[in-house]
């Protein structure tokens, strides 16, 4: 079994690309605190939509889906699950909520990770969650022709408990060093967790929940208001690509963490930028139609109605449609395409 040396990994990761991400994220973190204090009433609007998107996206990556109406009601705990997929979605929702509300008291320790995994499957039967894998597993890729290719061989089932103990102990020791930026160590921990692949099922979803937990504990709470899971889902192909690149020679402790760490820092930075953008769009000094107008005006290229609704979760679909109709009538925007593929683009003030 390989050893985990986070301090040595950290030294190899301090390069211009990583430092550039860290500088930008630190700047946005300070701005988030300022905006949150200046506009506290706006945060609840972002919190609700992020909860829905996170619950949907993290499960969707694993092929666990339901209808849009059902996912919204499940994510907001307004209905009960009807089938296996919905039971797993409800479990993710509850663990996500637990992290949001109690992250200060949940430590990166094997016992807490097992409890989170247990709760992930609490609607699916007592035997489904809360225990490490019972047999060896593989990370495989299914090609278009139907053939299945093994991409990575994780730690064996026999070695998994010791690997998880060592991983958590090494991380907690390194995170206590004030000279080390936790933003660099967190993706390394998540990557090693994925390479161990400690569970029979739910490893991907657990990795995203752990990402949020560790970010919150380090003071980076943007994931409460902007769905990091959705940003990963939207770049899923790149996500799997960097996983593969960084996993080469992992068992020999000779792998390169930079591709995965850079990707995750890029996701975190994108979340902070989205937070800034959405907070400005929630500015109460603008009417709702004017906010729709500003979104289209400041968008480079075209935008769909669903994208506008996503950017302004507090504006109803009817209000957005009415604003679009008025802007079309005034000649300030043009309509592109039709049906479900309809989009809009800014022309200019008349």
φ/ψ of 343, rounded to 5, equals -140, 170
Q: Angle CA(303)–CA(309)–CA(314) in degrees, nearest 5?
A: 150
Domain 6-281 matches domain 288-346 at the CATH topology level: no
Q: For the chain, what are the domain ranges? A: 6-281, 288-346
Locate 283 and state its tokens. Answer: 């500015």
Q: What is the pLDDT of residue 300?
A: 85
Using DSSP bridges, classify how beta strands 333-336 and 148-152 pair: parallel, antiparallel or unpaired. Answer: unpaired
Round to whole Å and give the CA distance between 102 and 35: 23
Dihedral sign (CA 57, 58, 61, 63):
negative
Burial of 321 (0-12, 13-18, 19+ CB in 10 A): middle
| Cβ-contact 264, 187 below 8 angstroms | yes
Round to whole Å and give the CA distance between 137 and 152: 9
Round to whole Å and give the CA distance between 223 and 188: 18
| Cβ-contact 251, 4 below 8 angstroms | no
Tens-level pLDDT at each residue, the chain (350 residues): 789 999 999 999 999 999 999 999 999 998 887 777 767 777 888 898 899 999 999 999 999 999 989 999 999 999 999 999 999 999 999 999 999 999 999 999 999 999 999 999 999 876 779 999 999 999 987 777 878 888 899 999 999 999 999 999 999 999 999 999 999 999 999 999 999 999 999 999 999 999 999 999 999 999 999 999 999 999 999 999 999 999 999 999 999 999 999 999 999 999 999 998 888 777 657 889 999 998 999 888 999 998 898 888 778 899 999 999 999 999 999 999 988 889 999 998 65
Q: What is the pLDDT of residue 283?
A: 63
**Partner residues linked to 142 by β-bridges:** 148
Q: What is the pLDDT of residue 148?
A: 83
Give me the architecture of the 288-346 domain, per CATH: Orthogonal Bundle (1.10)
Q: At a CB cut-off of 8 Å and minimum separation 6, what does 87 contact?
A: 81, 123, 124
φ/ψ of 303, rounded to 5, equals -150, 145
- Answer whether CATH 3.40.50.150 is correct for domain 6-281: no
**Residue by residue, what is the 3-state secondary structure of the chain?**
CCCCCHHHHHHHHCCHHHHHHHHHHHHHHHHHHHHHHHCHHHHHHHHHHHHHHHHHHHHHHCCCCCCHHHHHHHHCCCCCCCCHHHHHHHHHHHHHHHHHHHHHHCCCCHHHHHHHHHHHCCCCCCCCCCCCCCCCCCEEEECCCCCEEEEECCCCCCCHHHHHHHHHHHHHHHHCCCCCCHHHHHHHHHHHHHHHCCCCCCHHHHHHHHHHHHHHHCCCCHHHCCCHHHHHHHCHHHHHHHHHHHHCCCCCCCCCCHHHHHHHHHHHHHHHHHHHHHHHHCCCCCCHHHHHHHHHHCCCCCECHHHHHHHCCCCCHHHHHHHHHHHHHHCCEEEECCHHHCEEEECCCC
- The answer to whether the predicted template modeling score (pTM) of the entire model surpasses 0.85 is yes
Q: What is the pLDDT of residue 125?
A: 76
């Amino acid at each position: 079994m390989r050893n985990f040396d986070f301090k040595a990994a950290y030294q190899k990761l301090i390069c211009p690309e990583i430092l550039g991400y860290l500088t930008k994220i630190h700047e946005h973190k300070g701005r988030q605190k300022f905006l949150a204090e200046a506009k506290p009433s706006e945060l609840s609007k972002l919190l609700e939509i992020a909860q829905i998107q996170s619950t949907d996206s993290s499960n969707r990556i694993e092929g666990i889906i339901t209808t849009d109406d059902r996912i919204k009601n499940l994510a907001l705990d307004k209905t009960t699950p009807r089938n296996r997929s919905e039971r797993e979605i409800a479990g993710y929702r509850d663990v996500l909520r637990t992290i949001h509300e109690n992250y200060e008291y949940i430590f990166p320790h094997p016992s807490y990770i097992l409890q989170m995994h247990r709760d992930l499957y609490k609607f699916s039967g007592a035997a489904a969650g809360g225990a490490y894998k019972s047999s060896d597993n593989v990370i495989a890729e299914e090609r278009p022709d139907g053939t299945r290719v093994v991409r990575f061989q994780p730690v064996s089932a026999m070695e998994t408990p010791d690997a998880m103990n060592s991983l958590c102990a090494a991380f907690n020791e390194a995170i206590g060093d004030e000279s080390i930026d936790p933003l660099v160590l967190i993706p390394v921990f998540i990557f090693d967790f994925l390479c161990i692949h400690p569970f029979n099922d739910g490893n991907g979803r657990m990795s995203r929940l752990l990402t949020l937990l560790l970010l919150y504990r380090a003071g980076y709470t943007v994931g409460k208001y902007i769905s990091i899971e959705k940003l990963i889902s939207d770049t899923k192909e790149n996500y799997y690509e960097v996983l593969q690149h960084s996993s080469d020679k992992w068992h020999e402790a000779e792998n390169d963490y930079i591709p995965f760490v850079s990707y995750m820092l890029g996701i975190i930075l994108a979340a902070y930028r989205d937070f800034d953008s959405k907070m400005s769009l929630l500015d109460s000094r603008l009417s709702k139609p004017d906010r729709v107008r500003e979104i289209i005006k400041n968008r480079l290229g075209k935008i769909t109605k669903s994208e506008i609704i996503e950017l302004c979760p507090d504006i109803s679909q009817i209000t957005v449609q009415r604003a679009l109709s008025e802007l079309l009538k005034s000649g300030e925007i043009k309509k592109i395409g039709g049906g479900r593929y309809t989009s809009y683009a800014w022309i200019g003030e008349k």
